[in-house]
Amino acid sequence: MIKKVRVRFAPSPTGGLHLGGVRTVLYNYLFAKKNQGDFIVRIEDTDQTRFVEGAEKYIFDCLKWCGLEPDESPIHGGPCGPYRQSERKSIYLQYAHQLIEQGNAYYAFDTPEELEKMRSDFKTTENPSPQYDAKVRMKMKNSLTLPAEKVKELIASGTRYVIRIKMPEYETIRFHDLIHHEVSFDSSLVDDKVLLKADGMPTYHLAVVVDDYLMGITHAFRGEEWLSSAPVHILLWKYLFGLGNMPQWAHLPLILGPNGKLSKRDGAKYGFPVYAMNWTDPRTNEFTEGFKEKGFLPEAFINLLAMLGWNGGTEQEIFTMEELIDHFSIERVHKSGAKFDFDKAKWFNQEWIRKIPVKEYAFFIKSLFNEKNIPVQDEAFFIQVLELVKDRCMLLTDFVEQAQYFFTAPDKLDKDAVLPKWDASKKEFFELYCQTLESLKVWDVSSIETLFKNLAAEKNIKPGELQLPLRIMLVGAKFGPAVFVIAQMIGKEATVDRIKKGLNIFSQ
Ligand code: GLU
């Protein structure tokens, strides 16, 4: 029987959600949906020292914004819960004990001071940071070196201990990765990782394997930074559940910034977002900008992440989620790191701004207007304006500058664009234009424009020379759609007012 595809995203709630994390979610999600499988989110919070208030909720908010809703999670429920590892503490102990009974793990009673001493005693120039491994373990205080009676006694008397995996010496650990193909490790280079901590909590290594098994995970896709942990996980699978039950692995390539792995520091330095949504670390108050608040559409964010390390084998770059589900295959994910390019990211967003009806994202722009106290009364008019300027926007936040003068007079005019060529004849033209506009009966683009052109001809001034001052009066700067369309849309009163104000400013 073919097992139902079940994939998981297993974040530790320790901070903001990096775009690499969202891409991991996305590839898992696409694979699950393509194969009519389940996408599970499991919270890996066994390291209580790294727990950060609010981080879990933030992760789910990000997934919601991205449209990557899990089928099972601590919030969505499901048959394999609890989905928070801290709530599964009692489950892991038996597996740690099983490993000890099998001779694949052992109790270690070394104190922090003894570990420190080991690190300095075994330090050599070739081995500057010695690990707790096959070369060292027989010289330490553990159940491999102490008599069984002593071990029992120490445990019974409440001595603090951890359980460590006993890494085999000189064994080649091999596994197949869907992206990297055949991968192998020399077991002697891996230390005897702690599996169960002194507080009774499992470490990530034990918990991830036990939970992937108990949750029926068939495919484990995660960032390449976990590749070095894979040998420990492969051995745990072998010792506990059998390699035949192990999920298929795929270690996703790193996302690269201007200087190696993309970090949140790169974002701050180069002015681009690195997290899905804004995040303020409650411990340090450090703020990291998010794609959402920067003005990205979730559709664009998903699209650009999909293309960071994968391609569909054709020239097509714009994909909807449905198309991605249709086209995605894990074998087409690249092996080498994918370079993040913010200009390209903005290009994706611009394409999506054009593609989606403005009605669908108008609420976001309206909230930006509200924040700036720019009044928006007429919803239909608002949509009309957004429609008119959308081709000029790469980010949703660009709409503020591109659209605000339709709702409020510019507070500053670009005088430098006008004054060098401003003279008495232009002043006179605008005084007259203003007067005639006031008595214009039909306020439409062609009447406003015809009047302008006729008057310019009468005054013997090229209309092209007058359009720039008019634009600066209405918009404040040298951008925007056709100037007569702007005048028509803001209405007679605002047009006349702004021309009068402009005349004052330019004629001082
Ligand atoms: N808890 C790990 C993390 O924070 C999960 C890694 C994995 O998927 O195995 O990313």
Tens digit of each residue's pLDDT (9 = 90 or more) over 382-421: 999 999 999 999 999 999 999 999 999 999 999 999 999 9
**Ligand 1 atom nearest to 221, measured from its CA:** 8
Model confidence at 297, pLDDT cuts 50, 70, 90, reads: very high
**What percent of the chain has pLDDT above 90?**
96
Alpha-carbon span 9 to 28, nearest angstrom: 7
Q: Is the distance from CB of 258 to CB of 266 less than 8 angstroms?
A: yes
The catalytic position among 141, 166, 193, 264 is 264
pLDDT in tens, 467-477: 999 999 999 99
Place of tokens 């393509």: 34
Alpha-carbon span 26 to 40, nearest angstrom: 12
pLDDT surpasses 80 at 213: yes
Question: What does the block give as tokens for 350?
Answer: 């611009």
Whether residue 264 lies in the annotated active site: yes
Question: What does the block give as tokens for 406?
Answer: 């339709």
| Whether the CB of 7 sits within 6 Å of ligand 1 | no
Given this model, what pLDDT does residue 169 score? 93
| Whether the CB of 224 sits within 6 Å of ligand 1 | no
| Span 111-133, average pLDDT | 95
Comparing CA positions, the residue from 222, 206, 203 lying closest to residue 7 is: 222
Distance 320 CA to ligand 1 centre (A): 27
pLDDT surpasses 90 at 343: yes
pLDDT surpasses 80 at 2: no
Residues in the chain: 508
Alpha-carbon span 163 to 203, nearest angstrom: 10
Radius of gyration of the chain (CA): 32
Burial of 247 (0-12, 13-18, 19+ CB in 10 A): buried
pLDDT surpasses 80 at 1: no
Given this model, what pLDDT does residue 96 score? 98
Model confidence at 508, pLDDT cuts 50, 70, 90, reads: confident
Q: What are phi and psi of 26, to 5 degrees?
A: -60, -50
Given this model, what pLDDT does residue 48 score? 85
What single-letter DSSP state applies at residue 389? H
Distance 10 CA to ligand 1 centre (A): 5
Protein residue with its CA nearest to atom 5 in ligand 1: 10
| Span 348-370, average pLDDT | 97
Distance 8 CA to ligand 1 centre (A): 10
Model confidence at 264, pLDDT cuts 50, 70, 90, reads: confident
Comparing CA positions, the residue from 340, 225, 309 lying closest to residue 27 is: 309
* Structural domains of the chain, with CATH: 89-207 (3.90.800.10), 288-406 (1.10.1160.10), 415-506 (1.10.10.350)
Average pLDDT value for the chain: 96
**Ligand 1 atom nearest to 208, measured from its CA:** 9
Given this model, what pLDDT does residue 423 score? 96
Close Cβ partners of 485 (under 8 Å, ≥ 6 residues apart): 388, 445
| Whether the CB of 12 sits within 6 Å of ligand 1 | yes
Hey, which of 8, 41, 204 would you mutate to test ligand 1's pocket, going by the most ligand atoms within 8 Å of its Cβ?
Answer: 204
| Span 74-95, average pLDDT | 97
| Whether the CB of 226 sits within 6 Å of ligand 1 | yes
| Whether the CB of 230 sits within 6 Å of ligand 1 | no
What single-letter DSSP state applies at residue 444? S
| Span 493-504, average pLDDT | 98
Question: What does the block give as tokens for 6?
Answer: 């079940």
